[in-house]
Structure 1
Amino acid sequence: MPAAHPTPPPPQLPPPNAPAAAIIAPHSETSSLLRKAHSQGWNCITVSLPPHALPLTLAQDPPTIDTAQSLTHKSMRRTAKALRAHGIRAVIPGSPLSIALALSDQLAQELHLPGNDPETSQLRCDRGAQAAALTQAGVVAPRSLRTTNLSDALRWAHLCRLPAYVIAPASTAASGLARTARTDEEISRAWRQLRRTAHHRTGGRNLVIQEALPGPQYILHSITSPDEDRPRHTITEIWSSQTRTIPLGRPVAQGELIARTLSRYARQVLDVLEVEAGALRSRIVCAPGQGPTLLSARVHPAHSLRHTTAPPADAARCSFRTRTQRHTCRTDRPPLELFAGGLR
């Protein structure tokens, strides 16, 4: 009889005086990242939402997060006070839901830590808002309509007279739900199927109908760092993906022509979406005759901690200005690296 494999010991928690990061509205997949972060000397504190603030699907089956330190968000003042007492040095979105509720951005602002403007959070979590902002800024975007009303969607489709449409939840917190439709009957069927699902998965009732664009699709991961004059956008990974439903395809080398074209467009997108700090996952299609076009952009739990740093408490302060406010950051930051499968 083969010998049983011993159970690995639980990961050691860092000392109490280790740098601390707050993980906001964590997803169940966040657990593996937290364990690795602990092993690298981080104190991670999760901030969970109360059941009444969660979409129905999450309220019925809340994520189980393996961390010794956690708190439940009840009010901005109380949560910020609790995190301040822990000496938090970074606020990290644990899921797209934390952006949809603007909670991560508001807490970063309250704690005077790098983050994005809470007034523009919708730009980073809503397909309809993203397409509208890009169009207004003169950046290529799909024609789309964001609405809760099926009659409005059908009326818009009649005006556009496009070969095909994509129906999806407006919130990017829900992925893998998009449906392609060509006729009024197909649009209506997809709309009725997605309306309830979107509400249960995201808490919102808005859907988006947009033109279906042919062409290869790509996933871009980006990191934005604050700077004195303007944020620095770095495209860290590009993956090819021929459809919305298959796993990521091959990695695209940064030196390839398509990578340079996608990166140039993605930086324009990040500026329009007013990304000042943090990680974003963008899905872009290269449509014939149109070029790179954003389909959606969102925080991805597996990349939330990419390059996030925990500055020492006595590090020198430096300041940088966002579009609407002044934050405070610190220098001499040891990087926390993460690759597509987790922390390293």
Structure 2
Amino acid sequence: MTHNIAVIVDAYSTGAKLAAKFHAEGVAVLHVQSASPIIDFYINDFRPDDFIANVVFNGLAESLVEINRWLNGIKPICVLAGAETGIELADLLAGELGVEGNSTETSRVRRDKYAMACALKEAGLATPYFLRTDNLHTLTEWASGHGWPIVLKPLASAGNDSVFFCNDRTELESAFHSIYNKANRFGGHNNHVLAQTLLKGTQYVINSVSIDAQHYISDMWIDRRKVIAGASNIYDCEELLPYEGEVQEALVSYMKKALDALGVHNGPAHSEIMMTAEGPVLIETGARLQGAMLEEAVIEALGESQITLTIERYCHPHLFKRRLGQQYVLSKHVLCVAMISDQEGVVVDTTGFEKIRSLSSYACHFHLPEKGDTITRTIDLFSIPGVVYLSHEEFAVLQADYATIRRLESAHQVFSLNENVPV
């Protein structure tokens, strides 16, 4: 019988990979499901056989009884959020079980984007101008005083779910009605909206793993987006960056202060930052692993990934602490390319993807549709028809292969669709 147990709340998306990694370290894993049923976006990620049990949260007192029954007197080595929906419950359970985690006193600032912006502002860190409201008149009056475009989004969601870039009052009103008083993709209800002035600059992704409020930056990426009419700014590609550089130095300095301001003391975090003319500004942070990612190409380029470092932080904390103050070393270039569809229909043939698989820099892919699946026009993270990782020692090879992917997409040569079937 194992004497080490990890608890994962909502082991979905990238968090679904944690259990197998813990098993390799001789650690059993107990799963806690924050809500029932599992939302559609995550249902296919859940692997119940990876866990000694699945406890469906049904109130704190009742759930703790069941959790402790499965722990059988063993103190878990961690309570981790596997996905965005598990962040607040993971904090709560860590506190109740006496496990190192992030304080429940600051849980909301790691989940609610308005509370997050307030915490950053209070810490003296740069933020866009922002407003939380449930009133359309208040929103339009505020927007008229701050200039267009205005970004409108839910308070607690992810994956650019219902994020709108509004260029005038008509678009703002339409976006408000699309968000307010509606359910979001993560099972919550949008009782308010968050408005922000648009940040201008270059967007970056920074992933980190923390131990006792000390932060290790695991990987940094340029996050390129495309603006498409009738959609949010959709994912285009992310380019893995070397640690060293003037921009990276500024990003790391700001990011560590932001993690402190948000109370991220332990575990992984995934952050998006805009480098503006005035300096870095946080867009948002999730106290979890980066979602929708494959680690194989990252490990090949860096030797580690945010996932492997999270496991090390809890299974071998003495080794992880040795990394603090060190820098990762980039040995290969990596592009993470989001597939983009301007078609809608049912997939009848996927053999065209072999042209992408044969590219010199092709590394791996995931979330591709299969024959019989439905593809819709790409408007956000949830409607991309797959992700492709490219990796090569020569960056020019990646650039050429990326251009080939976009050319094949434009010519509709990746997937063949029956567009006469209602979507």
Task: Report the TM-score when normalising by structure 2.
Answer: 0.63
Displacement of 1:60 in angstroms is 11
- One of 1, 5, 20 as aligned partner of 1:35: 20
8 Å CA contact 2:157, 2:186 repeated in 1:
no
| 2:251 corresponding residue in structure 1 | 262
| 1:135 corresponding residue in structure 2 | 121
**1:64-101 superposed Cα distances (whole Å, 9 cap, x missing partner):** 323242211223234334434422221010111122xx
| 1:83 corresponding residue in structure 2 | 67
- One of 151, 157, 175 as aligned partner of 1:166: 151
| 2:98 corresponding residue in structure 1 | 112
- Identity, in percent, stands at 22
| 1:3 corresponding residue in structure 2 | none
2: distance between equivalents of 1:73 and 1:309?
28
Task: Quickly say closer, same or farther: Cα 1:68–1:201, change in 2 above 3 A.
Answer: closer
8 Å CA contact 2:267, 2:288 repeated in 1:
no
Task: Quickly say closer, same or farther: Cα 1:81–1:46, change in 2 above 3 A.
Answer: same
- Tell me, yes or no, if structure 1 residue 234 matches structure 2 residue 220: no
Task: Quickly say closer, same or farther: Cα 1:305–1:194, change in 2 above 3 A.
Answer: farther
- Structure 1 spans left out of the alignment, 5+ residues: 1-15, 313-329
AA in 2 matched with 1:235: I
- Tell me, yes or no, if structure 1 residue 282 matches structure 2 residue 271: yes
CA RMSD, Structure 1 to Structure 2 (Å): 3.1
1: distance between equivalents of 2:134 and 2:308?
34
| 1:320 corresponding residue in structure 2 | none
SS state of the match for residue 240, structure 2? Answer: coil
2: distance between equivalents of 1:40 and 1:159?
56
- One of 122, 126, 133 as aligned partner of 2:108: 122
Displacement of 1:306 in angstroms is 4.0
| 1:296 corresponding residue in structure 2 | 284
8 Å CA contact 1:278, 1:304 repeated in 2:
no
Task: Report the TM-score when normalising by structure 1.
Answer: 0.76
2: distance between equivalents of 1:309 and 1:47?
22
| 1:246 corresponding residue in structure 2 | 235
Displacement of 1:200 in angstroms is 5.0
SS state of the match for residue 242, structure 1? Answer: strand
Matches within 5 A, 1:144-223: 144-160=130-146, 162-173=147-158, 175-195=160-180, 198-199=183-184, 201-205=186-190, 206-223=192-209
Displacement of 1:106 in angstroms is 1.0
8 Å CA contact 2:209, 2:218 repeated in 1:
yes
2: distance between equivalents of 1:170 and 1:245?
19
8 Å CA contact 1:134, 1:272 repeated in 2:
yes
8 Å CA contact 2:207, 2:220 repeated in 1:
yes
Matches within 5 A, 1:49-68: 49-51=34-36, 57-58=39-40, 64-66=46-48, 67-68=50-51
Task: Quickly say closer, same or farther: Cα 1:183–1:137, change in 2 above 3 A.
Answer: same
SS state of the match for residue 275, structure 1? Answer: coil
**1:251-295 superposed Cα distances (whole Å, 9 cap, x missing partner):** 12111111110000111111111212111111000112x211011
**1:15-49 superposed Cα distances (whole Å, 9 cap, x missing partner):** x3152111112325533432343244221111013
SS state of the match for residue 250, structure 1? Answer: strand
The count of corresponding residues between Structure 1 and Structure 2 is 296
| 1:96 corresponding residue in structure 2 | 84
**1:126-168 superposed Cα distances (whole Å, 9 cap, x missing partner):** 22111122122221011111222222211211232x2311111
2: distance between equivalents of 1:305 and 1:74?
31
Greater mean alpha carbon deviation, residues 42-51 or residues 181-190: 42-51
AA in 2 matched with 1:79: S
SS state of the match for residue 151, structure 2? Answer: strand
Displacement of 1:114 in angstroms is 0.7
2: distance between equivalents of 1:276 and 1:126?
18
- Tell me, yes or no, if structure 1 residue 307 matches structure 2 residue 310: yes
| 2:56 corresponding residue in structure 1 | 72
**1:293-327 superposed Cα distances (whole Å, 9 cap, x missing partner):** 01111134455774245878xxxxxxxxxxxxxxx
**1:178-215 superposed Cα distances (whole Å, 9 cap, x missing partner):** 11012110101112123355545341312211011111
